Structures are given as structure tokens and as C-alpha cells.
A and B are shown apart, each in its own frame.
Chain A
Amino acid sequence: MLKIKDLRVNVEGREILKGIDLEVKPGEVHAIMGPNGSGKSTLASTLAGNESYEITSGEVEYMGKDLLELSVEDRAREGIFLGFQYPVEIPGVSMVNFLRTAINENRKYHNQDPLSAGEFLKLMSEKKSLVEINSDLTSRSVNEGFSGGEKKKNEIFQMALLNPRLSILDETDSGLDIDALRIVANGVNKLRSKENATVVITHYQRLLDYIVPDYVHILYKGKIVKPGDKSLAMVLEEKGYDWIKEEAGMEA
């Protein structure tokens, strides 16, 4: 589904990703872990198409297409979903208008008719329960005045509505209390299928108790230094990142 080869990315002239290789297949859940500043969010945003990041070399193939050639919106409509670490507040744009536009633009791209108002409302209420989102949140402006937990739930809610092939969840667990974490993780698990894949980016092992990954990758200083499975996360939990830093230091 996704093949990343030697991806190098500069942000404001500084090299943040220094040659990433990663392959994600349908049905898989990958966790990318790493200390702060290791490049996790840069990787997520780059895959989603953020234009402020400069790709200096490498290839990304997604569903047989050259992902790097696609615009932000086309990546989304091809099934890539980025769950934002910091969901953006957009005053004046109502949640309903935003969601309906997003869904119908996706449908249009796939030559489907737009949803009628009734169908849309039905879909909304169906998915709302999945993430236990407060129903009056959808009558407000996008993320405006939402608590940290509500914002993250809102991301998963959008993911449920858009039904992506590849979800990249950037620190979806940060700032969540244990109940919200459980709800968010639960939502993600319910959306898992054989056809789609999830990349979970997290700093802590905690989320992986709820969303169990098939693979765990440790990102450090812009490189994946340690590929492994979920047991790697356990080691991290025990030993912290210093162990990785030392090992990476020794290799270098």
C-alpha cells in the first residue's frame, strides 16, 4: 500500500528526515515511536502533503501511484487521512458545512453523487456514536473552543466519516485522559479492516495497550533506528529512549 524509500525532508533549510524506509501493507498497524524532535510529525505531515516541507530526495509509492506528485486534497481523496496532532480551529466554518463539503468532495472525486442532507445526517449520527462525540460539537465551528480531548475525538470522527485506506494518526494520544484515550483507541480499532492500514505515531507506549501494532519503528534523529514488533514498545516503556540514543550513538 505504502512504500517509502530513502525519504529526506528539509524544514526551513534543516534536514529533519534523513532517509526513511518504510513499507505498510493493507490490514497492518504500524507504530512509529521516538523522542521529541525525532521527525515523527514531519513524516506524518509530509505524507499528507504539507507544502511547507521540502522533499530533497526519496520516493513514496502509494497504491501504485507516486504519492509525492499528488496535491494535498488528492492524497486525501485517494484515501490518506492525517489525524492532526494539533487540530486547527477554524472560526466561522461550521462543522456541518466542513464535513459535508469534505465528504461530497471525496464522493465527487470517485464519481459518486453527493449525499443528500438526510443521508448526510444519518451518516453523521451513525459515526458520532462510534467516538462518543458530544452532539452539540457538530453545531459549532470547526474545533473552535473544543477541549483537547474533544479535538482528538473529532479527528477520529472525521476518520470514521471519510473511511480512509491509510490513516496516519499523529500523537492522537497526547493530552488525552485515560477515558478519552480509550474512546479514541476504540474508535480506531472499530475502523480497522483487512483493506485499510493505520500508522500510529506516538511518544508513549500507553496508546499501544489499546491499539495493538503489528510493527513498531523507532525514529531517532530523522532515521528509523530500530524496527521491531510490539515487544519493542515494551522495552522502550521500561528503559526509556536513552537506551536508543546510546545504541544509535554507538552505531554512529
Chain B
Amino acid sequence: MKENIMGIVTETQDTVRKFVSMYEEHRDELLAGDPGFVSGMRQEAIEHFERMGFPPKKAENYKYTHLEPFFNAALSTHFTPRKLEFDVEEIFRCDIPTLDTHVILVLNGFYYTSTGEKLVEQESGVIFGSLREAVSRYPELVKKHLGKYADFRNDPFVALNTACAMDGVFIYIPENKEPDKPIQIIHLLLSNENEMVQHRNLFVAEKNSRGEVIICDHTLSNHLFLTNSVTEMGVGENANLDVVRLQNEHNYSVQVTNSWMELERNANGRNSTITLHGGKVRNNLYVKMKGEGASADARGLFLTDKQQHVDSFTLVEHQAPNCTSNQHYKGVLDDSSSGAFTGKIHVFPDAQKTMAYQSNNNILLTKEAKMHTKPQLEIYADDVKCSHGATVGQLDENAMFYLRARGIPKEEARLMLMYAFADDVISGIKQEPLHNRIEELVSKRLRGELSKCDNCAINCYD
């Protein structure tokens, strides 16, 4: 039976079988250049994937976003980077001019370079660039971390990615070091056909180090893209890692992001996800606080319209005492878009003096927009401070009247209130130029002026 999902044809075969066969067919490419530890992990991962399969429609953690049909779509997958007839650098130029970063381009899941240089090794020992290259150049270093944070044994999307991802970004910040500027990863999707992409990022911040990473997800051509990405983050003792992700993909994209972060003693990890645009988006964030005194900040903001759908799932585990976590997620939903938030705080029996907070607030701009929110607490320690709260509402009528009674037109008043609502998520983004740029993008998005990415010559959107 053929189904029609978002206007594309799905295949009839069993979805899990399709990927297992794909894996078997491309085994040679997948295992090429393996220094010894990748093959086993891939094999184990595909077996776990085959055993688990995709989450069924009613699976508790995926009930608001049934992903399997998208994975069953007729999409091409490539195991070697293709030579594209487009000039990426011509088309794409990041338009945050005051943002001084090391830019890494990842094109359709592969590290992209015009110079041939695949890894940057700074004098300080900081390394960043292609993960695939790092596997062969620094096998011992990568082996210590790859597959250690993202659980491919219990999560089918992570398993599939572990088995099949060909490349992605590796960032290594050694003890006591800090890259001279933030590292910006730009994931670009640009193709002449409908395509599935799986990339893998690994960020390692060792003891006492600091790092700032900006991830931008963009679509540059008007094809259906399905992305299943994994980002693993290991944050060592007293280290500080701040990751901001800016999602700006078109309405025909499906994106599953799996971010896994582990925090050692007194480590500080921040994850901010701003979803400006996207077709179907599922963002999974797992934070494990393994060492005493760690702190985590997770925030998300999504703005949806038309038929868009954004589902945020978080699990914050307090495994050690004296850790603090803050989760702050907000959504503004227009038209018949939909969203979901499932956020879980899990406090382990030994994690006394835990402080864990979570809030999820949403605004529905129309009667057709839908939001599901499900905060969850699981607490096995007795000396903890935990709170959670969720709201789904409309714009404050009294505030609207107040603004209009001063001569501010209805539409402008609406924008002011929406913007004010979104702003406290954005205010948590520390890097000044990025913060300002995100404010501007959000404001444009709310005004409906972000009909295409500013930096892109191709108009992907409707």
C-alpha cells in the first residue's frame, strides 16, 4: 500500500528491513578506514536497531510524533560525499557578520572543505573538523568518547545513526583550554533529489576547559529532506560547554535531532534550541549529570505556522548530589501547526540536594493550533527542590487592550506580546552578536518576514 505523506510517496516494504538491508549493502563503505573500533559498534548498533524497530504509533515517548512513515519515504541515501554542481560558498554565507567564529560546513551530512583541510589542529591542542577524519587520525582519542554518551542500545534513532552515519563534526577541547573563538557548525541540505541524511557530531570538553558551539540547520534546496542526527557531548570536570542550535529548515523537511550530554563534577552544560522554521521536527535532549555539583541549562523556543510540527523531548538525569538543572521551553503556534513537549526530570536515589526546575509555556494563536505538554518528575531522593509547570494559553487580552488603548495597532500589539513571550528564552543565550541576531530573526519570523533564510539565494519556502 502506498501512502501519501506530505505529498511524497512511501515505499511498501518493512521500514526496519529497508535500513538493515541498506546497512548490509553498504557495509564496505561504512567500514572503510576503520581503525578497529567502529565496525563492532556499527554492527552492534544495527542489531539493536533491528531488535527495537521504530517506536510504534502509541509509544509513550513518541506518541505525538509518529516518525516511521517518514523513514519509509522513498529517499536516496549517499555513503560518499557527492560532487555537487552548486557552489556552496556562493550560495551560502552566514549573515551574522559580527559573529566571529570558526565556521565548519557540513553538506548533506559530510564535512565540506574547499581547501582539502579536514581537521584544524590549533597550537593549544584544540581540534575541530571532520569526525570521519578524526577517527582515522586520532583513533584512541575518539574511541574514548564515540558511542559513549548516546545510548545506541536503547534508542532506535541513535542506533540507526550509529550504524550508518558517515561523517559529522568532531570538536576536542583539551584540559584547561578554550578555542580562540566559538565554533559554528552549519549543516546544509542541498540536493537535486529527495534525500535522507544522518550525521554524527562529537564534542569533547575536558577538565577545566570551555567551549561555545553554534549549530545552524539549513535547507538550501526545495527537496524533501529527512535528517536523523546525533550529537554526543562529554563535559569534563569543571568544564563549560555552551551549545546553541538554530533550526531553520523548510516545510518539507523532517528532522530528528538526538543530543546527548554528560556532565562530570562541577561541569556546566547549556543547550539552547531555537526552531524558527521546519516541517516536522523532533528534538531529543538527554542530559546526564554524573558528577556532584554539575549544572545544566536546557532551553527551547519554537515558532510554528501552517502545518508545521515541533516536538521537544527532554530527559534530565540527576545521578549525583548537589546538581542544578533548569529547563525552559516555549512555543508560539499559529495556523494549524502543532507542537509537543515532554520533559522529564529524573532524580536518582543518591542525588540529594538536587535543584531541578522545568517550565513549558505555549501560546496558541488560532483555534486550530494544538499543543501537547507533559512534564514529568521521577524523584527517588528525599532532600530535593524540584518544580515544574506547564501552560497553554492565548495572548493576554488585557495586555492587548492596554497596548491598543495607547494607539498601537492590533497587529503590532500582537507582535509585541509574542515577542515578549519568546524573549526570555532568547535572553538566556549569552553570546552577544548571536543573541542579537536571534532576536532579530525571531522578530522577523513573528512578522512573517522570514519567508526565506536571509543568507540563502534559493527561496525554499512556499
B-contacting residues of A (Cβ < 8 Å)? 48-52, 71-73, 75-77, 81-82, 84, 87-88, 90-93, 97-98, 101-102, 105-106, 109, 141-142, 158, 162
Given the complex of chains A and B, what is the CA–CA distance between A51 and B397 in angstroms? 10
Complex formed: what's the CA distance from A109 to B406 in Å? Answer: 12
Cβ contact within 8 Å between A90 and B407: no
B421 touches A73 (CB 8 A): no
Complex: A101 Cα to B409 Cα, angstroms = 10
Contacts of B138 in A (CB 8 A): none
Q: How many A-B residue pairs have CB under 8 A?
A: 77
Whether A87 lies near B420 (C-beta < 8 A) is no
| Residues in A whose Cβ lies below 8 Å from that of B398 | 88
Q: How far is the CA of A102 from the CA of B409 in the complex (A)?
A: 9
User: CA A97 – CA B408 in complex, angstroms?
Assistant: 11
Given A50-B401, A73-B405, A98-B403, 13 more pairs with CB closer than 8 A: A49-B405, A71-B404, A73-B404, A76-B406, A77-B407, A81-B405, A88-B398, A90-B403, A90-B420, A91-B424, A93-B403, A102-B408, A105-B407
Q: Is there an interface contact between A76 and B399, defined as CB atoms closer than 8 Å?
A: no
* A98 and B406 within 8 A (CB): yes
By the criterion CB–CB under 8 Å, are B402 and A73 in contact? no
Check B417 against A93 for contact (C-beta < 8 Å): yes
Q: Chain B, interface size: which category?
A: 20 to 34
**B384: Cβ under 8 A from any A Cβ:** no
The contact of B408 among A82, A92, A105, by CB within 8 Å, is A105
Q: Could you list 9 examples of A-B contacts with CB < 8 Å?
A: A71-B410, A84-B405, A92-B419, A92-B423, A105-B407, A105-B409, A106-B407, A109-B407, A142-B402
CB within 8 Å for A73 and B399 given contacts A90-B417, A92-B420, A93-B420: no
* B399 close to A105 (CB less than 8 A): no
Does A52 contact B405, Cβ atoms closer than 8 Å?
Answer: no
Tell me if B412 and A88 are in contact (CB < 8 A).
no
Docked complex Cα distance between A50 and B409 (Å)? 14
Closest to A50 in B: B401
Q: Identify the closest chain B residue to A97 (Cβ).
A: B416
B residues 232-284 near A (Cβ < 8 Å) are: none
Whether the pair B401, A76 counts as a contact (CB closer than 8 A) is no
In the assembled complex, how far is the CB of residue A111 from the closest CB belonging to chain B, in whole angstroms?
14
Of B399, B409, B420, B424, the contact of A88 (CB 8 Å cutoff): B399
A93 to B403: give the CA distance in the assembly, Å: 10
Least CB distance, A95 to chain B, in whole angstroms:
12
Q: Is the CB of B420 within 8 A of A73?
A: no
1/0 contact string of B402-443 vs chain A (CB within 8 Å)? 111111111011001101110110000000000000000000
- Given contact pairs A101-B412, A105-B412, A72 touches B420 in the complex (Cβ within 8 A): no
- Residues of chain B lying within 8 A (CB to CB) of residue A76: 404-407
The answer to whether A90 touches B408 (Cβ under 8 A) is no
Whether B423 and A162, one on each chain, are in contact in the complex, defined by CB atoms closer than 8 angstroms, is no
A115 to B413, CA, bound (A): 19
**A72 touching B417 by the CB < 8 A rule?**
no
Q: Name the residue of chain A whose CB is nearest to the CB of B406.
A: A102
Which residues does chain B contribute within 8 Å of A141, judged by CB atoms?
Answer: 420
